[in-house]
A = this chain, B = another copy of it.
């Protein structure tokens, strides 16, 4: 089936004289997760992971994906004839590098320009020395061959309440306009869905688990235009926008409106998120100031209201996860499947007051499945839990108070010495980053080794970043804050600011053996200020106990043991007031102090 599709694709490429066709995982907004309508790469390759892109040439079809998906992609691509590039491994090119090499000896590259960023195209042209004429960006070839393509989503949009946001749209627009003045820009084009949701205090349901809605926005000193799917706009939203001084227009109309809205102005936009087709509608006489959207930084720095609410969400969420741990440890011998375990924890969340969705599909991975960083258990054929080894559960909720993301690896019985060693190293890394004190100005690149170091010392690595930003009633993956040691192309380094929330999630992933990940969310706060400057630290938001059955103190330093005991005490303190006597008794034992 995949082979048929590739054959059709090659015919279309021939018709359009395209030598290389590029299919990213992308909607028109550079979203990380996309609606069903946008899953072209999935349709063309059969690979269902959230990240990865495809390149089709006359000679071959290639899929590029990162370390989280190497194992899964190998399985899903079997029999398709598609060549898998395991990005991140030594000497494996990225899709950009691959295309650059190929295009040295070919003429035309094609893609749907709405699904790639302007920065991507410009980098590509610069690196290859190709002219713009080598790019065919106005053809969506997958659309031409995709029978029964899903409809584009237009779910209803709703308005957040003031107690949830802590800042009105008018106030947010004022700050953005001040920022525009500072950068000397007159028109601001915005395409990233979470930025738009944040600015307008609106939420939607067009991407699974991400409460965003399809939209573009253009902001000037006088006006704010919001481009929305017509069916998504309720009376309530219409009225709210009117009182907020926002004019809404039809989603697709933005491409026609841009020339008039831009005139000869100086334009503020982020080439990393603005799609190429939209960018090309901007008149040539406009000056472009390419900067991160002001709202991206503003959104990442959570305000007091958001922080207070988030803390409440985390207590509720911690209770759900802790109850799940209690349940699963006592029922490890009941032949529960991974899928049923996921259902159990999902139900605990869904029955929690204020929880309206999961923040992503729960990862419930037993044994060897834990080695797949983004494993998803299917109802049919998934593994059964046994009373030995590890169950890795990575999950989170969307609450009316905030968004959560937490991972625990649970010991269900017998563990090897190696398993305990690896668990303990991951734990030490997680604790050391969580308890870091650092001077203001540090980025995630400066801190990553705190979490990764204990593993590196033993010659082990995890092929992904250590942590990502988390949205507020928004996407569970949010930039620009991130903890990773390597620089990604196009990635701007982000100083960790007071109010930013970032995950701390080192891990060990051993193919065909097991996976371990421990993840807390950390709020960046100010620490002491003295002659050396402003020190920063983290306040932990996640309160879920650590698995002592998997800890081998031989791999800890004295300080690690102190940090662990402190954390466990805090977990008991925060959660026990909401627990039954039986639960408290269990938690007391589960969080008991250990000795160095």
Contacts and interface: CB of A to CB of B under 8 A. Distances in A.
A125 interface: no
A312 to B, nearest CB: 31
B460 A532 contact: yes
Interface stretch (A137-145, A230-238, A439-447, A576-584): A439-447
A456 B438 contact: yes
B445 A535 contact: no
Nearest to A511: B531
Contacts of A487: 493
- If over half of A's interface residues share one DSSP class (helix, strand or loop), that class is named, otherwise mixed; here it is mixed
B450 A453 contact: yes
A457 interface: yes
Contacts of A436: 449, 453, 456
The size bracket of the interface on A is 35 or more
Interface string A408-448: 00000000000000000000000000001111011001111
A99 to B, nearest CB: 21
Nearest to A558: B557
A437 B455 CA distance: 9
A528 interface: yes
A90 interface: yes
A150 interface: no
A455 to B, nearest CB: 9
A58 B482 CA distance: 46
A459 B445 contact: no
Contact of A558 (B448, B533, B535, B558): B558
Contacts of A527: 459
Contacts of A456: 436-439, 535
Given A446-B446, A534-B90, A558-B557, A457 B485 contact: no
B457 A439 contact: no
Interface in A448-482: 448-450, 453, 456-457, 459-461, 463
Contacts of A457: 437
A445 B493 CA distance: 12
Contacts of A530: 459
A493 B559 CA distance: 32
Contact of A449 (B89, B449, B493, B535): B449
Contacts of A461: 439, 532-533
A486 B448 CA distance: 15
Nearest to A530: B459
Contacts of A441: 485-486
Contact of A446 (B89, B449, B460, B533): B449
Contacts of A449: 436, 438, 442, 446-447, 449-450
A384 to B, nearest CB: 28
18 contacts: A90-B534, A437-B457, A437-B459, A438-B449, A438-B456, A441-B486, A442-B449, A442-B485, A446-B446, A446-B449, A446-B485, A449-B450, A450-B453, A456-B535, A459-B528, A459-B535, A460-B532, A557-B557
Given A557-B557, A557-B558, 8 more contacts: A437-B456, A442-B485, A445-B445, A445-B446, A446-B449, A447-B449, A449-B450, A456-B535
